[in-house]
Amino acid sequence: MNNLDVSIIDVGNIYGNISTASCLYPKSYTKKKREDISIRNRIAISKQYGFNPNYVFMAKGTNGNGSYKLLDRDFVYSYEDGLSALINEDILLITDDLVGVVIGHTFTDYPVIMMSDIKTGVSGVGYCSLDMIDNSLPMMVADSLLEVSGSSDYDIVTYISACASDLSFDKYPIWIRNAKIWESAIKLEDDGLYHVDLRKIIMRQLTDRNINHNVVFNVNDTINNPDYYSNYSKEKGRNFSGLFYKDNSKVLIKTKNR
């Protein structure tokens, strides 16, 4: 891994929305127009961070069982636009030989978790929706690194994106199946609402998995910080967080001209 860095991307609305979901745009926008906006905004982000805007990949994160896909060159190069790949897994993994290729996820108030093994050169990304946290996704990302590369817990560095600092519900959350892991992270307050601390429950899972020694949280609150999209704000869009391996000595993947 000489000259290589794991670079984190964690951006709100400053570069605009990169999601192409139709619900985030005026009804009159065609799919082509949404895709053009997405690549334009990705190019703006890539100029700041130094990755290839065409090679941005996301997993759907809907299986709920910790399934993962390890990206390789053949898969990456088979897509002119990585966001068009339908990856039906919970976790994406990448190795340090794919320089300039981003794995990440769009998000609003629930965070993206990223882990890198600094010795073996493998990294993973997962989206921490409430049901996936309930399924212990933070532990699952670490387990996927272990399965692929034999990672040691002590070599894993973890980063958690911006998220809502406080979520409130008028009823005890129905998506909770494992109440024990949410103890003290959900409290019924004097306002009659159940308040959820996402960072607290994620840190508890990392501690239980013995990977709590090198963890960085982005402490920005997506609900109250105007620099982020939120489900509670009028502006529609998605934030983005991910990672890529950056070669400080040369560019191995050149950006296509658009």
Structural domain boundaries, residue 220:
4-165+215-247
Q: Is residue 195 part of a domain?
A: no
Cα–Cα distances in Å, from 250 out to 3, 50, 68, 101, 254? 9, 11, 30, 14, 10
Q: Is residue 25 part of a domain?
A: yes
Q: Is residue 133 part of a domain?
A: yes
Q: Residue 30 belongs to a domain with what CATH number?
A: 3.60.140.10
pLDDT band at 1 (very low <50, low <70, confident <90, very high): very low
Q: Is residue 126 part of a domain?
A: yes
The predicted pLDDT at position 183 comes to 83
Q: Is residue 205 part of a domain?
A: no
Residues linked to residue 70 through DSSP beta bridges, in sequence order: 93
Q: Is residue 176 part of a domain?
A: no
By the 8 A CB rule, do 240 and 18 touch?
yes
The length of the chain, given as a count of residues: 258
Would you list the DSSP string of 180-222? GGGTTTEEE-TTS-EEE-HHHHHHHHHHHTT--SSEEE---BT
> pTM above the 0.85 mark?
yes
Total count of domains within the chain: 1
Is the pLDDT reported for residue 258 higher than 80? Answer: no
Residue 249, number of CB atoms within 10 A of its CB: 8
What's the pLDDT tens digit per position in 74-113?
999 999 999 999 899 999 999 999 999 999 999 999 999 9
Q: Is residue 175 part of a domain?
A: no
Q: Is residue 232 part of a domain?
A: yes
- Please give the helix or strand (H or E) that residue 4 lies within, else none: strand 4-11
Residue 87, number of CB atoms within 10 A of its CB: 19
The predicted pLDDT at position 18 comes to 94
Q: Which of 166, 232, 239, 153 is nearest to 199 (CA)?
A: 166
The predicted pLDDT at position 128 comes to 94
Is the pLDDT reported for residue 255 higher than 70? Answer: no
